[in-house]
Structure 1
């Protein structure tokens, strides 16, 4: 039986009430839902975009991941290192516990039992995902010819940001110390981005701003932080626990208004947020 939105919200409220009264874990092994901070946004912010590598394999609760996203309530968020089952759970918690309804598209490039569970003969799918408060169209999922030590790729969708239809890319480049592989990957990505006059490129690029492999992306787009540039004069805020900037929101033909980096205990990557002027 498929529950309507109203029933799903009621069910979510009952779950929270039961957790408070009884103190047991939420369904699926997730710990009890935590309350949002006082400064949390209460509805989707239509011009807000975020990117977050949610860390995998990590023993983190999807209830907590959903609460982190709900705190800032972006119109669009790109996730990396994402298992389909986890994303489905995050989306459900966002709706049931926080009243935020998102559409989801997947850019999975790998089936891996060790990362995503399932069974050895039917492992879970792993890669990227995009959650958008508006429907998404023209979905593209591309695996890079060479992923390096692990299959990698990019996905792209068209959706609404600030009331405007924009092309949104989400990628995860090869792991550190694989510079040549990342250079080939950014060549593939840049060729796709260049076909659009206006685009948003999200992701974990596994490279610092002045890394040579990012040259083709910098030639097409600017980081959402106007102070962050691929030069020694740039002042880029770190987005990881090891104090490196690996996560980016590149903008092509779109103007940034405000950006923030939000450290989180639920991943070794911080959440990166930007509010945009898309008009």
Structure 2
């Protein structure tokens, strides 16, 4: 039998051993943080934005830890997530802060309460829709449900936040599922009208349509994709963003210059991450 004093000494030794393994208490010293690739940013990149449909349901083991690591690898100033459950976003945000030292504000554009997708109690299901994470404060948040969501309620959200040191209106959307072209056309018209009211805007989202799809015509009329080689009539030069080799994910820029972009494979979704660096320097 171990005496009370012996138990306390043993417990103290275990705590010291654990602290030795874990290291300092700073966020980047946690035991469970997945190491980032060499060259990953140490802090958020102030002119970088990202869009990512995180897939629901996908149920990959450890998916929120993995999602946070994938985001931290590129450390955007602003991230637009689609198919996002509030509980998942909360966990991703916490992992980003406590494992990688990246602190984000969050706003939600939930348009659906779904127990089957997001869990929770049947009479209190989790919110499902879009979310925006920003390293800077966000203001003037709106969440708009499209008049016709198609087979599932859909909408857009918008906030004003800081990108590349300047206040910018940022939208995030998810248009109707495939084979619902007429519904998407109506949704894109609603979104384009809202974007057109701003001199400068960034639109993130999963549009469920390839670049030359007729339903995206109004969006192309008010903004350009962050990939300068990708235009409405040139699908062959657009990088694919899905596991089925289509470009469905866009970063539309209105009166903002692109300064680089990347499409990144991930095991945690059937959509790739798409990030863009932008230049908001006013012309001289």
Say yes or no: TM over 0.5.
Answer: yes
Question: In the alignment, which residue of structure 1 is the partner of 2:25?
Answer: 10
Question: In the alignment, which residue of structure 2 is the partner of 1:27?
Answer: none
Question: In the alignment, which residue of structure 1 is the partner of 2:45?
Answer: 45
SS of alignment partner, residue 268 of structure 1: coil
Match for residue 278 of structure 2 among 264, 276, 279: 276
CA distance in 2 between partners of 1:59 and 1:233 (Å): 32
Question: In the alignment, which residue of structure 2 is the partner of 1:166?
Answer: 168
- Counting only pairs closer than 5 Å after superposition, residues 70-109 of structure 1 correspond to structure 2 as 70-109=72-111
Say if 2:160 and 2:167, in contact at 8 Å, map to a contact too.
yes
Moved over 4 A (4+): 11-14
Say if 2:110 and 2:129, in contact at 8 Å, map to a contact too.
yes
Question: In the alignment, which residue of structure 1 is the partner of 2:59?
Answer: 59
Q: 1:168 deviation in Å? A: 0.3
Quickly say closer, same or farther: Cα 1:41–1:122, change in 2 above 3 A.
same
Q: 1:12 deviation in Å? A: 4.7
Say if 1:33 and 1:64, in contact at 8 Å, map to a contact too.
no
Structure number with larger C-alpha Rg: 2
CA distance in 1 between partners of 2:136 and 2:236 (Å): 34
- Residues 118-171 of structure 1: CA distance to partner in whole angstroms, max 9, x if unpaired? 011110000000000000000010000110010000000000000000000000
Q: 1:34 deviation in Å? A: 1.9
- Residues 244-270 of structure 1: CA distance to partner in whole angstroms, max 9, x if unpaired? 000000000000010110111111000
CA distance in 1 between partners of 2:260 and 2:118 (Å): 35
Quickly say closer, same or farther: Cα 1:135–1:187, change in 2 above 3 A.
same
Question: In the alignment, which residue of structure 1 is the partner of 2:17?
Answer: none
| Structure-2-length-normalised TM-score | 0.88
| Structure-1-length-normalised TM-score | 0.89
- Counting only pairs closer than 5 Å after superposition, residues 117-128 of structure 1 correspond to structure 2 as 117-128=119-130
Match for residue 143 of structure 2 among 141, 144, 160: 141
Say if 2:28 and 2:100, in contact at 8 Å, map to a contact too.
no
Unaligned 5+ segments in structure 2 are 1-23
CA distance in 2 between partners of 1:111 and 1:122 (Å): 8
